[in-house]
Every structure is written in C-alpha cells, then in structure tokens.
Structure 1
Amino acid sequence: MVVQTLIDFERAPVFAIPTIDPVGGLTVREGMLIEGPQGWGEFSPLPHDGAPARWLTAAIEPGTVGWPDPVRGRVPIAVTVPAVDAARAHRIATDSTCRTAAVEVGAGPLAADIERVQAVRDALGPDGILRCDAKGRWDADSAVAAIVALDRAAGGLEFVAQPCPTLDELAQVRRRVEVPIAAAESIRDAADPMNVRLGDAADFCVLASGPLGGARRALRVAEACGLPCAVASTLETTIGLASGLALAGALPQLPFACELGTRGLLAGDVVADSRSLVVAGGYLPVAPMPPAPQRELLERYAVTEPARLAAWRARLQAAISTS
C-alpha cells in the first residue's frame, strides 16, 4: 500500500463519543482519525462491518487524492430521528431547522413507530417530507403491513429505506406497496457494491461514503446503480461527515435531502465548535477538505482502555493488509 509511506498509521488517535440517544443500537461512536499529507480523514467501520478496507480508503481519500469537484455548494439535510419516544422525536425534528425527516423504525413495536412518525409529522407540519429507515429489520409480510400503517400515520411517506435485509424481499415488498422503496445496506454491505443488481428491488438508493470507500468510489456506485440517490451518515464526527457532504456535493443530480445532519446526535465532536457541521436553515456546506481535529478534544474523547485500543489498532492493520 503506497500510502503507508505517507501516513503514520501507528499514531492515529482513537476516539469514543457517546450518543445523546441510541442510534441504530449504538450508544457510543468509536473510530480513528487518519492524517494524510493534505489533511484528515475518519476510519470508523461499524461494529459488524465486514469490509474495513473500504472505510480505510474513504479515510485516506481527503488527505491524499482529495475529493471530486462539487457541482453544488450546499446540501439540503434531512434530520435523522432515532428510535426514541414520541416527545423526544418531536423535539429533535422541531429543533433541526430541516423540512425533511428520516425516522428510524422497526426497532420496537409498530405502535411506537407510528407514534414517532405522527410526532414528527406534527413537528414538520403538513408540508414537511417524511421518510422511514427500517435498517433491514422486517420480513416481507411485516414490512408490507408496517409500511401501509406508517404511510397512513405520516400522511404520505417519501420512501422507506431498507425495509428487509435481502434484495428478493425488497422486490416482494415493492410489488405490494405504493410507497417507494430505497436500497441502502443492500448496496453498502455488498461484497462488491459496483456489481449489485437491484433489478426491481428498489426505486432509489441511499449511499454512505465510509462503507463504500469514499466519495469517488461512491460516485461510481451511484452511476452503476442507475437510480436517483440520497446520501446518509453512519454517525461520524464532523471529519467523517465532510466526506458524505463531498459525495452529496458531487452527485450530478440530488433530488433528495441527505441524512448528514447527525452531528447533533453525538454528545461531542473532535473539531472546534466553529468548524462543527451543525445544520443551519436546513442545509450544510460542501467543503474542499475536512477541518483538523482539536488536540484538547482528542484528549477528551480518547480511548485509553488497552483492550479497546488494541482492537482498533488490529482492525486498522487488517484494513491495511487487505487494501
């Protein structure tokens, strides 16, 4: 790997930042920051992600080859509403300044999902746009019943992302509901995202920069899938979110608000407050490179437990060896 001569992987800091609410089952977001010759990137594969080498490619991209040229200077943002109670969901949506919301569903009883969606609709008003993200938690029959109920509760859904784990199930659901279906994990978790054949399984795609290997590679995935795309966060710090914004900024067409406003779901950040990617007026800016971390924040959120440090060093080495 040529970049080993340019990057000191041994000194990459390891961070752990608590979430304010559990998000997709996560209560702490951990990762490493990688400094390249031109800047910083984030290596933060999720706990059960089987392709850490792609995350490493994304992490070294901004500090080496850089991101693709943007075609827009800012990106519309959809607020991410985790699987929280209805009152908390209402507050998150109200405080977000966004006109689109992506509501997590499928983690508990359908009745709780319906209450959460209704609360977000109330917060956004009748002109707001709602979508749901089930993270592959339903079987086909359960998905159909839930989507019909959630669509009614929302007064109309923009789409539902990944209602089931497999493409065959997505296709079954898509044939049986009127709400559009988006593929997300089916693409980002695939052995070769470039060669995923969606067939009649999805109307749209939701891409994420980290698990797809960075903005440049994710752009090629978007072209290969041939469907309209949104971009989503994997709960990164500002340094990682900047990569998602680079992807959203470079997509030739961006018909959807992007789920990149997740900085507010973390209890802290690794960059200065003035550089932290906090949504304002429903948008976030596209930057040419991510900001650098602040030393005092790296110290505040540093992982110091030897076993956890060793696990992250091992995961990084595994990614390097397979790159």
Structure 2
Amino acid sequence: MTSVPGPESIDDLLDRVHVVALPMRVRFRGITEREVVLVEGPSGWGEFGAFPEYDDDEAANWLASAIEMAWQGPPPALRTRVAVNATIPAIAAGEVPAILDRFPGCTTVKVKVAESGQELVDDVARVAAVLQARPGVRVRVDANGGWGVDEAAAALRVLDQAVRAADPSRAPGTGPVSLDGPGLEYVEQPCATVDELVELRGRLAADGVRVDVAADESIRRAEDPLRVVRAGGADRAVVKVAPLGGPRRLLAVAAELGVPVTVSSALDSAVGVSAGVAAAAALPGCGDDDDAVPAAGLGTGGFFFEDVVEPGAFDLADGHLPVRTIGPDPARLAGLRAVAYRRDWWLDRIRRCHLLL
C-alpha cells in the first residue's frame, strides 16, 4: 500500500509554517484581519486557515488540504485559466461600484443577502446596484442559510424579478417582466438545513420561480457531503478545497455529486486561492476550454489591503485567474507575520489537528 506524502513528523511540519495576518478592506464574516498559516513543502506551498470558531475535527480537513498541496502539489490541469465571480458583501448599495472595480472583467457577480439586521429591500437595492454598474452580468445570491423556507420563497421571487426587470435587452415600459429572460443564476444556501432546501425547491417549482438552489454549508460542513443532492435539496453544489480536505478530495466529491459545481474560496490568501484555482482547472466540464465550468468564487484577493504575493503576481485579468504555482514573497511573509501569541495559538491548533489525520 502506497502512503500519502506528508511531513515526517509534527516537528517537521511545524518547522515549515508561517503564520500571517492579512488586513482587510471591508468587514467580512465579522473580521477585519484574516489569519492563515502557510506551509512550505517539497512540492510547493499549502494553506491552513480554518476559521477560529471551527472545532478541531472540522479544522483537520483544512490541515489535510494544506499538507496535500505542500507535499503533492496540484492535480493535473485541464485549462490554463479559470473564470471567477465578483463578490459583493452585505454593504450599502452606494458602495457596490467601488467593490466591483476590484473585479475587472468579471461577468458573474455573487451578492450576499439575508444579512442579520438588514431587510429584503437592502438586498434588492444591492442587486440593482450591481446591474446598474455592470448591465448584463449573471447574478447569483448567497444567503448563508439565513432564511426560513417561507422567507426564502418570497425573497427569491422578488430578487429574481428584480434581475429580470434589469435585463438590458428589455426596453423600459414594455409591460410585465418575462419569465423567459435571464434571472438569478442561482441562490447559494438559502436555508440552513437539508430538509428546508428540499422543501424550498418544491415551493419554487410550484410557484414558477425558476431559480436553481445551490448547497454550500450543507456540503462542506456535513458529515456526508453527498446527502443534500441525493435528498433532492440542490440543483448545484458550491465546494471549497480546504473544508473538503484538499483538491483531490474535492474532485472526487464533485464527481459523485453529479450536478454543476462552483469552486469557491474560504477567504484565503493567494496561496489558498491558487489551490482552489487548481481544483477548478482540473474539473471536467463541457469541454476543456477556460470557461467550461461555472465561474468560480475565487476572486477574494481584492478584500485584502495586502496579500502574501507581490501586486500583479496573481491578479485577475479579464475576469479570470491564471492556473499557476503560487508561493509567498519572503519580504511579505516577514512583514505580515502574526504577533507571537497568535502564532502560538495556531501552532497549538496544528498539533491538535495533526493528531486527527
């Protein structure tokens, strides 16, 4: 039996880690500074950045992903670049154009909705601002499980109509909005549970609302990542490399899911994003061209004031990210080094998670 490549010991692993803190431009997931661990291995760099609130069992998958990239490298690529979506946090509508400017050339935009303390009118305004700034883009929304079934069904009807009404091919004042025009591409994790997602899909079909339901948390935070699709709760899947345990595990899960897959980021540094790009580049699609798979949710580098690579080393170009091996700039590793007590916290976490692998 061939063993999976990895560090010789926990000491070998810890000798290779760098803990960095990346300052953010906007608050995202309630944080303004993102801490991650970068691991230098014989085959490249990996990233361990499980969010602090995740327990060790869940975080261990993220460590496995970092080790895979550092000791095995990326899987073979089928394409040279990967299309990505722009991501709009739950900000005021007036701030949307400035955020979109950080995503040059992106023709798909994901908009965060169902934010605690906000109303549906805020979501509609945010979506409308996207379509005003970039007419004709595909729009997908992400509720992060924030709606119940009734609330989701009502909200999606309104948001889908808002997107259809903004169709640039439709002249103003030409009557009711057609259901045949382009509406929402999909809604990501509208409800928290698999049972709710199943019920919602049935409700949308009965109501004539043609919006695909995509599962995210119901896959990456589930003991059985296939359950939601098998139960009839999702038309699509959103998958992330680190939570699933690495790009090869992601590809295996995607093959079993049997639905269109969007590869997404977990607010990673350029090193972590490059692992997502590698996975998206290896996905079989309707061909092996650069746009053969859904636009990936990997354009999150713009949320950082500083990243671990030099400007221009891994930038969006015409709405795409290149498929390339990424390593951090040594000067930036030093300049972004986390404070000592946070480094110690991460080292302790690595020790605990390593025991679970």
Aligned residue for 2:71, secondary structure, equals: coil
- Do residues 86 (structure 1) and 113 (structure 2) align? no
- Paired position in structure 2 for 1:258: 296
- Do residues 21 (structure 1) and 30 (structure 2) align? no
CA–CA separation in structure 2 for the residues paired with 1:44 and 1:94: 27
- Paired position in structure 1 for 2:335: 300
Answer whether contact 2:5 2:71 (CA < 8 A) is retained.
Answer: no
TM-score for the superposition, normalised by structure 2: 0.85
Aligned residue for 1:221, secondary structure, equals: helix
Answer whether contact 2:229 2:235 (CA < 8 A) is retained.
Answer: no
The change in CA–CA distance for 1:2 and 1:17 in structure 2 (over 3 A counts) is same
- Paired position in structure 2 for 1:122: 132
The change in CA–CA distance for 1:24 and 1:144 in structure 2 (over 3 A counts) is farther
CA–CA separation in structure 1 for the residues paired with 2:263 and 2:229: 19
Aligned residue for 1:181, secondary structure, equals: strand
Aligned residue for 2:6, secondary structure, equals: helix
CA–CA separation in structure 2 for the residues paired with 1:284 and 1:11: 27
- Paired position in structure 1 for 2:351: 317
CA–CA separation in structure 2 for the residues paired with 1:315 and 1:309: 10
- Paired position in structure 1 for 2:188: 161
Deviation at 1:4, TM superposition (A): 3.0
CA–CA separation in structure 2 for the residues paired with 1:20 and 1:121: 23
Comparing 238-247 with 197-206, which one deviates more in the overlay? 197-206
TM-score for the superposition, normalised by structure 1: 0.93
Aligned residue for 1:240, secondary structure, equals: helix
The change in CA–CA distance for 1:257 and 1:302 in structure 2 (over 3 A counts) is same
Question: Cα deviation per residue 1:138-162 (whole Å; 9 max; x = unaligned)?
Answer: 1111111111121122222000000
Answer whether contact 1:195 1:224 (CA < 8 A) is retained.
Answer: no
Deviation at 1:272, TM superposition (A): 2.0
Question: Cα deviation per residue 1:257-312 (whole Å; 9 max; x = unaligned)?
Answer: 1111110111110112232x32111111112x3x2212221222211141x22221
Question: Cα deviation per residue 1:12-46 (whole Å; 9 max; x = unaligned)?
Answer: 11111122112233322111011111211110012
Aligned residue for 1:4, secondary structure, equals: coil
Deviation at 1:198, TM superposition (A): 3.6
CA–CA separation in structure 2 for the residues paired with 1:302 and 1:52: 21
- Do residues 104 (structure 1) and 112 (structure 2) align? yes
Unaligned runs of 5+ in 1: none
CA–CA separation in structure 2 for the residues paired with 1:236 and 1:68: 19
- Do residues 131 (structure 1) and 140 (structure 2) align? yes
Answer whether contact 1:32 1:44 (CA < 8 A) is retained.
Answer: yes
The change in CA–CA distance for 1:194 and 1:170 in structure 2 (over 3 A counts) is closer
CA–CA separation in structure 2 for the residues paired with 1:184 and 1:241: 17
Deviation at 1:171, TM superposition (A): 1.0
Deviation at 1:194, TM superposition (A): 5.3
**Greater C-alpha radius of gyration:** 2
Matched residues, number: 318
Answer whether contact 1:206 1:231 (CA < 8 A) is retained.
Answer: yes
Answer whether contact 1:94 1:124 (CA < 8 A) is retained.
Answer: no
The change in CA–CA distance for 1:12 and 1:70 in structure 2 (over 3 A counts) is same
Unaligned runs of 5+ in 2: 165-182, 286-291
Percent identical pairs in the alignment equals 39
